[in-house]
Amino acid sequence: MEEMVTLWTRQDERSLRDLEKLGVFRNRERYIRDYYEDVADHFIYLYRWFSDAAAKRVERPPGVEFHIWCSISHESMLRPIKGTVAYKLQIPKSKIIYLDGGKWDFVLNHIYIPKDRKDQEEYLKDIESKGFKDQFNFIEGKYSRLYPEERARVMDSWERVFEIDDWNIFTTQANIWEIRPENILEIFRYEE
């Protein structure tokens, strides 16, 4: 029997309707757009990258657009807020994609994820020696189309988001592709 892992996730309350009508909840672009509004394009671009990279590690079921973010502990879970519910889930270990949330911040900021402190120092010296004033413009901004090698170098480093150097409940996060009713142990609702 496969090992099961308990995870927690906060989702839009419309997820309950999807579970009831479709028998499954899957994250969709429209949900991301509704949540992030004016900055949705930024997140969708990065979520597409993440979903493609994650699919190399755990097979993405047909029809799934995006992953579902989860916490690995009750202490670090996102509590329900108005318009949301939180789920306590039991997921087969083989269906979970773990990542380092601290490294995800590098991805959100479109910057290079270093292997270690020495690699970070060498990277910054290298881009400075090439005449770049900062590291923030290779994915978007003034350098994004001019230096495809630097763009690729940054994006290639993002694969390190899946390398967890310090497993802990605050920075280690999990992703899954879908939630089915049989995965749900408990539903937490927003209390006014």
Q: Which two tokens stand for residue 128?
A: 């400075």
At 137 the pLDDT is: 85
| Percentage of the residues of the chain whose pLDDT score is greater than 90 | 90
Which residue blocks in 8-67 are alpha helix, DSSP H? 14-22, 29-36, 40-55
C-alpha distance from residue 190 to each of 42, 80, 141 (Å): 28, 5, 39
Nearest to 36 by CA among 1, 79, 69: 69
Q: Which residue has the tokens 């097979």?
A: 59
- Which pLDDT does position 158 carry in this prediction? 98
Average pLDDT over residues 41-49: 95
Predicted confidence at residue 192, as pLDDT, reads 63
- Per-residue pLDDT, averaged over 84-111, amounts to 97
Of 24-33, 132-141, 158-167, the one with minimum mean pLDDT is 132-141
Rg for the chain, CA atoms, rounded: 18
Task: List, for residues 139-155, the tens digit of each pLDDT value.
Answer: 887 777 888 999 999 99
Averaged pLDDT, 154-178: 97
Higher-confidence position of 60 and 147:
60
Give CA 32 to chain center in angstroms. Answer: 12
Prediction pTM value: 0.91
Over range 73-80, report the average pLDDT: 95
